[in-house]
A and B are shown apart, each in its own frame.
Chain A
Amino acid sequence: AQSVTQLGSHVSVSEGALVLLRCNYSSSVPPYLFWYVQYPNQGLQLLLKYTSAATLVKGINGFEAEFKKSETSFHLTKPSAHMSDAAEYFCAVSEGSSNTGKLIFGQGTTLQVKP
């Protein structure tokens, strides 16, 4: 069965500092991997996705993530945090070849950005 683990339910960084949000997955088939962001009282917005092409994926708002098969990881990074990045972030995995398209989500990581 597929699963996703996000290390750290809360991450706090200073404005301008590196953002690193960790995600590890397990999957018996080649996975598709996603990062979503949720701002307060809003729905989920797709940040970026990995679909078996380039292992380094660039997304919106300056975020990127690297797929590392040997480490079963898909960590999200941003070189310089901005106050507007404060939100909850979810990593998710999908069986890429599955017709059901079910997404399995991690527990979420709340990012706090301090001035």
Chain B
Amino acid sequence: NAGVTQTPKFQVLKTGQSMTLQCAQDMNHNSMYWYRQDPGMGLRLIYYSASEGTTDKGEVPNGYNVSRLNKREFSLRLESAAPSQTSVYFCASRLPGQGVYGYTFGSGTRLTVV
């Protein structure tokens, strides 16, 4: 089915380890986003890519890096994981000018840093 696919679904890391969260969409969307969800704080934007070849910081970018590999894929990297990065991470995408239609979200990656 068309949509946004995130891998892995679950991950446990030790403090200081690195990992990359993968996101891919097959809807030919231009814009992609990474959010983190924490209890009582809703979803907060980490990074976004308005179009292929561009990336910009969101509300909470510290400790993360991103790569817009091509139009389909947008990865999120934790270089040195910290317990404060324990969260649920969501990737989303949309077409330009699709503010009226909202986003399509992936099913999330649950990350625990111990």
Q: A99-B50, A101-B31, A107-B41 are in contact. Are A49 and B101 (CB under 8 A)?
A: yes
Residues of chain A at interface, number, CB under 8 A? 30
Can you offer 26 A-B residue contacts whose CB atoms are under 8 A?
A32-B100, A34-B102, A42-B108, A43-B90, A43-B106, A43-B107, A44-B43, A44-B103, A51-B100, A90-B43, A95-B99, A96-B99, A97-B99, A98-B99, A99-B50, A101-B50, A101-B96, A101-B98, A101-B103, A102-B48, A103-B92, A103-B102, A104-B45, A105-B42, A106-B42, A107-B42
Give the interface residue-count category, chain B: 20 to 34
Query: How many pairs, one residue from A and one from B, have CB atoms within 8 Å of each other in the complex?
Result: 71
Interface residues in chain B, defined as those with a beta carbon under 8 Å from any beta carbon in chain A: 31, 33, 35, 40-45, 48, 50, 56, 58, 90, 92, 94, 96-103, 105-108
